[in-house]
Amino acid sequence: MSEPLGKLNKRDLIKTALRHYIGVSTYNYDTGTASGLVWEMFPALRKIYKKDDDLVQSLNNHFKFYNCNPWLSPLITGATLAMEEKNGIQSLEAVQNLKVGLMGPLSGIGDTIIWVMIPTILGAIAGSMGQKGDPTGLFLFLFLWLLMSFTRPYLYIIGYKSGTNLISNLGDSLKSFTDAISILGITVIGSIISTTVKVNVGWQFVRSGVKVNLQDILNKLCPSLLPAIVVLILYLLLKNKKAKMGWLIVGIIIISMAGAAVGLFKA
């Protein structure tokens, strides 16, 4: 225990940050991405722990279940490195508590913003432009995403420097930020429903020589009424009936084909 602990310099952190790009590729059902975490932190941990026995103890601690949104995970790993550098294996329990405590909330924020909100907004723009053969939206998506990608290693430095204080300090404004971006997201989703979901009815009624097109009537009632209804039904199924997404996709394909066969739907 009296063994002195090694100190990390900026180069070690950058090395860890670059190794972090191995990300979730090691995901498994038992321990999540723990082995990936061990791999990225190993050089830094080797430097901190001079004694092999201590190193093994620390590694075994990091081999426990870990799963966090890879974009925000550096905040946690940076902080744990700072803790282990200071207190060595005596900090292991605190390190584990920090990891377990933070990986949930950070994943919640990260997954919503990084994997759902941003790809949906940018993807809707890129997709609706791309369907007409216009690649502008694609370039916008690509440019903004690459810009975000290269900021990830800095989170390591931030996490390391501010240690455990960071998250509690950010706490309040993080919530406001998530709320604000939710509003942006929901507004855009409202727009996406009418621009990307297409349901066209093919049925026509002939009454005393007058042709009545059902789709025209629906359009007069409210444009994009059917897409909105489809989204609403699917939302209720997912939310209240806990329907599986795969089944909904298969269901829609079957309904579309049946509808096409009887002429209810047209492309």
Partner 1 sequence: MGMSFLQASSITLLAYIYNLDRHATQFFGKMPILYGAITGMILGDVKTGLMVGATLQLMSLGVANIGGSSMPDYIVAAIISAAISVTTGKGIAAGMAIGLPVGMLTMNLDVIVKLINSAIAKKAQTFANRKQFGKMQKMIPIATFMYPLEAALPVFLAVVFGKTVVESILNFMPQWFTVGLNVAGGMLPAVGIAMLLVYMPMKRYGYWIIIGFVLSAFLKMPVLGVALLGCAAAVNQFKNENTHNTNVTATMANLNKEDMEDE
Q: Which of residues 56-95 bind partner 1 (CB under 8 A)?
A: 56, 59-60, 63, 67, 70-71
By CB under 8 A, which span of 23-31, 72-80, 86-94, 154-162 interacts with partner 1?
Answer: 23-31
Q: Of 187, 184, 199, 191, whose CA–CA distance to 234 is shortest? A: 199
Helix (H) or strand (E) holding 210: strand 210-213
Q: Between residues 96 and 256, which has the closer beta carbon with respect to partner 1?
A: 256
Q: Which of 94, 170, 181, 218 binds partner 1 (CB under 8 A)?
A: 181
Binding test (CB under 8 A) with partner 1, winner from 1, 183, 206, 221: 183
Check binding of 160 to partner 1 (CB under 8 A): no
Q: Which residue's CB is nearer to partner 1, number 163 or number 170?
A: 170
Q: Which of 97, 196, 204, 213 binds partner 1 (CB under 8 A)?
A: 196
Per CB under 8 A, 142 contacts partner 1: yes
Contact 70, 36 (CB under 8 A): no
| Complex with partner 1: residue 14 or 238, whichever CB lies closer | 238
- Which residues inside 238-257 make contact with partner 1, applying CB under 8 A? 238-239, 245-246, 248-249, 252-253, 255-257
Residue 170 near partner 1 by CB under 8 A:
no
For partner 1, which is the closer residue by CB, 131 or 213? 131
99 within 8 A of 66, measured Cβ to Cβ: yes
# residues contacting partner 1 (CB under 8 A): 112
Two tokens at 97?
């508590």
Asked if 39 touches partner 1 (CB under 8 A), the answer is yes
**3 state SS for 81-135:** HHHHHHHHHHHHHHHHHHHHHHHHHHHHHHHHHHHHHHHHHHHHHHHHHHCCCCC
Instruction: Find all residues with CB under 8 Å of 59, minimum gap 6, and list them.
Output: 38, 42, 45
End-to-end CA distance of the chain: 72
